[in-house]
Every structure is written in C-alpha cells, then in structure tokens.
Amino acid sequence: MYARLIGEEIAERAEGPLLFLRRSVDVGLNEAVEIEAADGRLRLGRVAALDESSVTVEMLDETAGLALQGTRVRFFGEPLRFRVGPGLLGRVFNGIGQPMDSGPPLAAREALRVDGLPLKASARQAPSEFLETGFTAIDLMNSLVRGQKLPLFSGGGLPHDRIAVDIACNARLPGVKGEAADFAIVFAGIGIPHESAQFFRDEMEKSGALARTVLFLNLASDSSAQRLLTPRFALTAAEYLAFTEGKHVLVILTDLTNYCEALREVSASRGEVPSRKGYPGYMYSDLATLYERAGRIRGVAGSVTQIPILTMPSDDITHPIPDLTGYITEGQIVLDRDLNRRDLYPPIRVLPSLSRLMKDGTGKGLTHADHPALAAQLYAAYAQAQQTRILASVVGEDGLSPTDRQYLAFGQVFEGQVVNHDQPRSLDQSMAAGWLALRGLPRSEMHRLSDAQIAAHLAA
C-alpha cells in the first residue's frame, strides 16, 4: 500500500529503523525530517541516503505500528539541530536531546547543528594543561591533557561503567582559579540497559556531580538510528559549553562499541557492501567525525576533552573498533581482566596504556617538576618486574637473584598500592604512592631519576 506524502513523496516500505521513499522533490543529505502517522503521532528522522529516484530516511523513533497509508513526511530544509542555552548543566536528556527529567523546557539561546561545523586546522590550539581524573594509573602514569581524546579500552564484564562514573564525579582542574565555574562534564550513555542508565543517574545525583553535568541516556531499547546521533548531540552540548560559555568540558562517551554495532546494523539495512567483520568501510571516517570534535581553538578560553569508552569484542585489541580508534586518538587506557579477577580497582593494565600528549601537560610549570621522571622510572621498573615474573615461572623464585626478587616484590606493591585504590587520589597523593613503591628497589636501579630526586624522595 502506497500513500501520497507532503512534498509529493511516496512511501515504499519501512524496514527496521529505515523508511524508504520514492523521490519527487529536492532534498539534502542529513536533512531533518518529521513523519506524521495517520494517528497524529510525530516521529523524527533524517535523510540518510538518496539518489535520483529514492530517499532513505533514518527513523529516530521506533517504526513499529507505522502504517504507510495516511503517513505524511515534512522536510525541514536543514540538518538536525540541538537547541542549547545557559540552563544545560544539571539536565538529563534522551539520545536525541529531548528532556527526560522533570525540569522546565530549556530556554534555548542557539540552535546548533548536531554534526558540528568544520574547523580550520590553523585555528586549532595544541592540547595542553593537566586534567585530573582521580586515578593514579591515569594521572601519574598516562596523564590526560585538556583538549585530548584518550579512549578507554575495556571488555565485557569489566567495571568500565564504575570507572566512567568515578571520573565524572572526581575529575577536576588542579590549580585553576574558579575551577568549579570553569569545569563541566558531558556524559553520554549509548545503547545502555535501563539498570546502567539508572546507575549513572543515581550516582551522579548522590555525589552532587550532576549539577555540573549534562547527561544523555540512549537506552538499548531505543532505535539504532537514534544511537548514531546520541554522541553528536552530546558533543554539540559540549562545544556550546566550551566555545560559547568558555568552560573546560570533559566528554565521557560509553559505550562506543554499541555505536559501531548500530552503524553496522543501519549500513546492512541500506544494502551497503560490508568491510572488516561486517562493519561499513567508512567506519574510520565516521568515528573521526566524533573524536576530532575534541580540542581547543585559538583565542577561545574553553576546551573539549574526550574519554570515549569501548568494549573490545572477545578482548581483542586488534578488532576494527579499538584498532581504528587507536589510529584516530592520542593513546589508550587498557583494562585488564586478570587484575579485575584479583579485585584490584581500577584494573588498568599500565604497560600497554599510553598517553601521547602526556609530555604537553606535565612537568615544571604544569604539574610537579618530578612527575615525568617518576612516571618513567615506575614504567621501567614495572616492565622489569613483568619480565622477572616470566623468568620466575621458568626457574622458580629460588633461582632468582636478590635484585630480581626485589623487582618481583615491587610488581606486587605497584599493582596493590599504586594502581589499586578505592578512594580518589590527587596527583600529589598518587606521586607519594609512587615514591613509596620505589623504595623497595636498590638505588642503583633508579636510572630514570637524578641524584637530587633520589636524595629528596628515596632517602632512608
């Protein structure tokens, strides 16, 4: 059954999250669409693909119960926009920017395109200045810098939800005057179950962090096409807070794997030729449109910093999702299943983790002057401890030299007292834990520290 629609469009069929139309008017890619069913219910969508004879519309609401007969389509002649204003902080939205809390309607000051606006490379300012998360394995060993994009690679069953909430509740700008007014969080849950959404909301309300947070919750029961827009609405809110209100914004996106699965589903519905493991060949450029919205602009006070969280299918770091993410972003934080089994929190595997911009946000004038040297020494010592564990598994502890036994003990102390901690730590507290762990090693092994640093921090 075909129905005549506004704009002389003919609905051919609805399939999953897609509505297929016969084209008879000029429309644009990503143009916003409103679908009015015969019962008067309105649904939102956007033009996802078109050619000379057809238009494919991504439905942002469910297509269940949508009859073709009597359905009308309105084209807005512009891309989807998110209406933003000064009252954003403390609000809770669904995946497409519709309020989910009991607050009043948002007094909008601007209507910004959710796809963002292109930014000249010459207008970008290099990321700099330290942003504290409260976790030693990040702050001390793989420091996050304002304007950076630093993903967290997790796995099924690992506590990435708890880590995301703890970062949102404890992150701060150390040493910044007026920090409370200048810092904001944008938190987006993508394709998450109801219990996770309630956990995020309850924990932020309980800690008081919700007052400085804009929360977007896209549920697993929502449309897969809506899932593709959730991070874009969240990043639009972040860009407004950063570049209009001048705030330093930390964006936490979890879980990007759900986003990529939705991308694969929608791509298959369009009949596109798949690439690696069934994902579309343009997934790299699509992810880049999200990650590259982090950064700073010359002459503008604010910044957008990203911590995207993704779960690696089968813990495979070579899977297309973490693989492509690693190419685009500036490092990665990797969670470890063995540390999690030993009840260590956060179970961050330090050696494969990396922050490529750490040098731009730490050291003299930015953090403590001894911070980079301490981190380098801890890395070197822990790497040696891991090699010693392999040796001990072959020859036994009795076959180790006294120095090797000290490295073996250091590995336990480093994991149990430096990486592992239940309460948030400041950078000073993290450094104190690091210096304490190094005291169990011979001074002759401190190759990354100066004599002055050894005398100041490791003297008996």
Q: What is the pLDDT of residues 147-163, one digit of tens each?
A: 999 999 999 999 999 99
Query: Average pLDDT in the 59-71 region?
Result: 74
Distances (CA, A) of 92 to 106, 182, 212, 217, 395: 11, 20, 12, 8, 57
**Same domain? 59 vs 203:** no
User: In this structure, are 223 and 108 located in the same domain?
Assistant: yes
Residue 45 β-bridge partners: 33, 59
Q: 253 and 396: one domain?
A: no
Residue-wise DSSP of 238-265: HHHHHHTS--EEEEEEE-HHHHHHHHHH
What whole-number percentage of the chain has pLDDT above 90? Answer: 68
Indicate if the pLDDT at residue 3 is higher than 50: no
Q: In whole angstroms, what is the distance from residue 115 CA to residue 267 CA?
A: 19
Is the torsion defined by CA of 116, 121, 123, 124 positive or negative?
positive
Is 72 found in the same domain as 91? no
Same domain, 58 and 86: no
Mean pLDDT of 418-427: 95
Of the residues 51, 79, 107, the one at which a domain ends: 79
Domain count, the chain: 3
Stretch 321-345: mean pLDDT, rounded? 96
At residue 77, the pLDDT reads 84
Q: Based on the domain organization, do 74 and 88 belong to the same domain?
A: no
Which of 327, 359, 391 is where one domain is finished? Answer: 359
Residues 169 and 299 in one domain: yes
The answer to whether residue 57 sits within a structural domain is yes
> Do both 61 and 91 map to the same domain?
no
Residues 166, 115: one domain? yes
| Domain annotation covers residue 364 | no
Tell me the torsion sign for CA atoms 131, 132, 135, 140: positive
Q: Where in the sequence is the domain holding 236, given as residue range(s)? A: 82-359
Q: Is the pLDDT score of 11 beyond 80? A: no
- Whether the per-residue pLDDT at 103 is higher than 50: the answer is yes
Give CA separation, 447 vs 78, 146, 353, in Å.
Answer: 60, 30, 22
CB atoms within 10 A of CB 266: 23
Sequence-separated (6 or more) residues with CB below 8 Å from residue 229 = 46, 60, 80, 95, 96, 114
Query: What is the Cα Rg of the chain in Å?
Result: 25
Task: Clarify whether residues 16 and 108 are in a common domain.
Answer: no
Q: What is the pLDDT of residue 181?
A: 61
Report yes or no on 285 lying in a domain: yes
Residue 58 has pLDDT above 90, yes or no: no
* Whether residue 96 has pLDDT greater than 50: yes
| Parallel, antiparallel or unpaired: strands 92-94 and 213-219 | parallel
Peptide bond preceding 346 in cis form (omega within 30 of 0): yes
Asked whether the whole model's pTM tops 0.85, one would answer yes
Q: pLDDT digit string (tens) for 211-241?
A: 999 999 999 998 888 899 999 999 999 999 9
CATH number where 58 lies: 2.40.10.170
Residue 203 in domain: yes
Res. 9: pLDDT tops 70: no
- Return the percentage of the chain with pLDDT > 70, whole number: 95
Asked if residue 378 belongs to a domain, the reply is yes
pLDDT at 219: 94
Q: Residue 303: inside a domain, yes or no? A: yes
In a domain, 134, yes or no: yes
Mean pLDDT of the 260-279 span: 90
7 pLDDT exceeds 60? no
In a domain, 365, yes or no: no
| Per-residue pLDDT reduced to its tens digit, 361-413 | 999 888 899 999 999 999 999 999 999 999 999 988 888 999 999 999 999 99
CA distance 169 to 304: 17
How confident is the model at residue 4, as a pLDDT? 35
- pLDDT reported for residue 377: 97
- The last residue of a domain, from among 324, 359, 394: 359
- What are the residues facing 436 on neighbouring strands? none
Q: Of 43, 115, 97, 50, which Cα lies nearest the Cα of 74?
A: 43
Alpha-carbon distance of 41 to 141, in angstroms, equals 53
Q: Are residues 101 and 214 in the same domain?
A: yes
Across 38-47, 62-71, 193-202, 298-307, least confident range:
62-71
- Per-residue confidence band for 5, with pLDDT thresholds at 50, 70 and 90: very low
pLDDT exceeds cutoff 70 at 1: no
Instruction: Give residue 331's region: left, alpha or beta (phi > 0; psi -120 to 50).
Output: left
Residues 198 and 266 grouped into a single domain: yes
324 or 118: whose pLDDT is higher? Answer: 324
For range 202-213, the mean pLDDT: 94
> What pLDDT is recorded for position 108?
87
pLDDT of residue 337: 96
